[in-house]
Structure 1
Amino acid sequence: MTVQAPPAPTVRAETPGLWERANKATLAMAGVTVALFAVFGIASDNFLTFDNMSNLATQVAITLIVAVAMTFVITTGQIDLSVGSTVAFVAVLTAEMLQAGWDSSLVIVAALLAGLFWGGVNGYLSAYHRIPPFIVTLATMSVIRGLAQLWTEGFSVPIDARLYVAKIGRAEFLGFSALAWIALGTVVIGAVLLAKTRFGNYVNGIGSQEESVRRAGVNTNRIKMVALMLTGLAAGVAGLLTAARLGSGSANSAQAFELTVIAAVVLGGTDLFGGRGTMTGTVIGALITGMIANGLTLLGVSPFLTPIVTGLVLLAAIWLNLRGHGIAELGAHLLGRGRGRDRAKEPA
């Protein structure tokens, strides 16, 4: 007599829900953003006015432009500390060229190429000479700003307000500055690149499993270099817009700017160890850093307190990123250790 075994029960694979798939850090920071809007809106009658929202968008714009590019860098597991110095250098270059009588269109091209050049230097030394990007950009941070200071001897270089570049800093559309619209366009381009292109997939893959991506035939060195070139290009745009907005170029501008940018990216939920980037989170992080500065100013708090608060916010963001990791692991990551198996040479 044959005994037929009962059929095995069918097990359905559960599809992760929206909450499981969501970036918890980004959702948390979105809540913080709403809370800050509420707190500053109650504490100051001027905070939620249209004029102040337009002003806030302008204040956040330059940070956001560079933060979008920094999202790619941090997602690949790298970091760029030289963006503030690059902004200052390009601002000085812009002002000096305009003062020397160069056409505005050529000045804009030169500003972008200068930013791209410094990003290329960082990327080449880091990706192809195996020098950790933390070390490379720490060195170029000093070199780039030093060159700007040597060039100007510490003086600001004024820009004629009648010139086209200067007018960009004052231009408005629908009540918002040209800077804000440029930042919005940068966010859209960055979001598409990160989420919808092969380059974005490689960026995420390199940050989490660089060796696997390399074995799949991807030139990971090139991708990492391009990521750092993007931050250089973005810093070039930011330097040009900084000079246009302030009406001058100064070697002392954008001090500690890199900390604000990194804080915006990490606050938004991009993993400091790489492998997970979020452009939505970067926008939220930039808004938080901008709102803190804007809200404290409206409340009459000393402007010298703003960098202290920004530093504490960055510290809190790093602490959140370190959950499940250790300080030693973060140090090893920044110094390029702990990825020895990913160091195999690959084609140029």
Structure 2
Amino acid sequence: MTSAYTSRPQGSRLADLLAAHAQLLSIAGFFLIMVVIFSIASPVFLSTGNILNLVRQIAPILIVAVAMTFVITTGGIDLSVGSVVALINASAAIVLQMGLPWPIAVIGLLLLGAAIGAIQGWFIAYQGIQAFIVTLAGLSALRGIALLMTEGFSIPISTDLGFVAIGREWLLGVPVPTWIAFLIVAAGFLTFWGTRFGRYVTAIGANQEAARRSGISTKQILLWVYVLTGLASALAGIIIAARLGSGSSNAAVGFELEVIAAVVLGGTSLMGGRGSIAGTVLGALTIGVIGNGLILSHVSPFFTQIVTGSIILLAVWLNARVFSRLASGARRKT
């Protein structure tokens, strides 16, 4: 008895492509909708000055969100990133006031951020403590250390130091923080999709035990993804300190929620096993556009957080329930 083979239905490849990238396409569509709405609401929104200001403001979020994509793809989470930013922010001002040369200070602060990530990663990977618990403890303890160091005061950073150029200078008509964020995004994309490390991150998130049995050093990979978030948070803290010209323990309050929202909006699964650097970029841009657009639209700052949270929830719901189903339905019809 012979089996009958049929040719692939015409158009099904396109449907499969749409289904595979439904979440990325949905956040891209939602981002464009927000841009159109706010450009109508405020003629200043699409001005060159505002766009450059927007990308400079979201640079710290984008930098940490790229690293957070690796963490969440493994099925973990890092709630301490905002507190690391605050600690590095305050530490930068303190060590610079002490007279430490700023290049040495930057290197030392980056190493400090990486060390914090390594400590948390060790507890998660090698001691088996849930990432939520470890990083929640870090969120509280690290912010407390920053408060203790500054006694709640803001510490100024001299504008004569070359350090402030990291957050305030422009290169080829684009803010330096934006160039830094671009380099981090490019490195993150290449690492996530073009290296063995990136593939291992996805494999661990999909099935950690299967990844371990296949010979992947799962504990080492898990430790390194938290080193990445610590390092990225340190870089974000340095940029914010340089841009504002001061260090404060109150910096980056709620920062971790914006970072996680950007990653989830971009289609990275909180359950692990699926991540998207391109989606994370769109997610960060969307959050930045919403915040900036609401301010330009003269929405009360007390109302802004409510609107932002509602829009993010709507975007995630559309992503998970509407756009994905539409793509699946298109694939079935073909």
Cα distance in 2 for partners of 1:130, 1:114 equals: 23
Residue in 2 that maps onto 1:118:
116
Larger Rg: 1 or 2?
1
Q: CA deviation at 1:316?
A: 4.4
CA contact 1:272–1:318 (8 Å) conserved in 2:
no
Q: Deviations over 1:112-159 (max 9, x none)?
A: 011111111111111111110001100110000000000100001100
User: Identical aligned pairs, as a percentage?
Assistant: 49
- 1:43 is aligned to 41
The letter of the residue matching 1:63 is I
Aligned partners of 2:205 and 2:219: how far apart in 1?
Answer: 12
Match in the other structure for 1:20 = 16
State the partner residue of 1:183: 181
Quote how far apart the aligned CAs of 1:20 are. Answer: 2.1
Identify the residue that residue 146 of structure 1 maps to in structure 2.
Answer: 144
The counterpart of 1:174, out of the listed 168, 172, 175, is 172
Alpha-carbon distance between aligned partners in 2 of 1:296 and 1:103, rounded to the nearest angstrom:
40
Contact 2:83 2:140 in 1 (8 A): yes
Aligned match of 1:224? 222
Corresponding residue number in structure 2 for 1:277 = 275
- Larger helix proportion of the pair: 2
Question: In the TM superposition, what is the alpha-carbon distance from 1:313 to its structure 2 partner?
Answer: 4.2
TM superposition score normalised by structure 1: 0.87
Find the counterpart in structure 1 of residue 300 from structure 2: 302
Which AA in structure 1 matches 2:268? T
Classify 1:16/1:272 alpha carbon distance in 2 versus 1 (closer, same or farther; 3 Å): farther
2:111–2:231 Cα contact (<8 Å) kept: yes
Q: Residue in 1 aligned with 2:4?
A: 9
> Residue deviations 1:155-204, cap 9 Å, x none?
01100001011122111023221001100110000000000100000011
Uncovered stretches (5+) of structure 1, i.e. residues with no partner: 324-348
User: Unaligned stretches of 5+ in structure 2?
Assistant: 322-334
Contact 1:259 1:314 in 2 (8 A): no
Equivalent-residue separation in structure 2 for 1:197 and 1:208 (angstroms): 17
The 1-side partners of 2:263 and 2:186 are apart by 16
Report Cα offsets for 1:225-280 as digits up to 9, x if no partner. Answer: 11111001000000000100000000001000000000000001111111000011
Higher relative contact order (CA 8 A, sep 6+): 2
The letter of the residue matching 2:4 is P
Q: Is the 8 A contact 1:54 1:175 kept in 2?
A: no
Please name the residue that 1:129 is paired with: 127
Does the C-alpha gap of structure 1 residues 47 and 285 become closer, same or farther in structure 2, counting only changes over 3 Å?
same
- SS state at 1:17 partner: helix
RMSD: 1.8
Q: Distance in 2 between matches of 1:203 and 1:216?
A: 13
Question: In structure 2, how many angstroms separate the alpha carbons of the residues matched to 1:137 and 1:322?
Answer: 27
Partner-residue secondary structure (3-state), 1:155: coil
Report the equivalent of 1:158.
156
Which among 190, 196, 199 is matched to residue 197 of structure 2? 199
Distance 1:83 1:321, change over 3 A: farther
From 191, 211, 214, give the equivalent of 1:213: 211
TM-score, normalising length: structure 2: 0.91
Q: Give 1:311 deviation, angstroms.
A: 3.1
Q: Cα distance, 1:319 vs. partner?
A: 5.2
Number of equivalenced pairs? 318
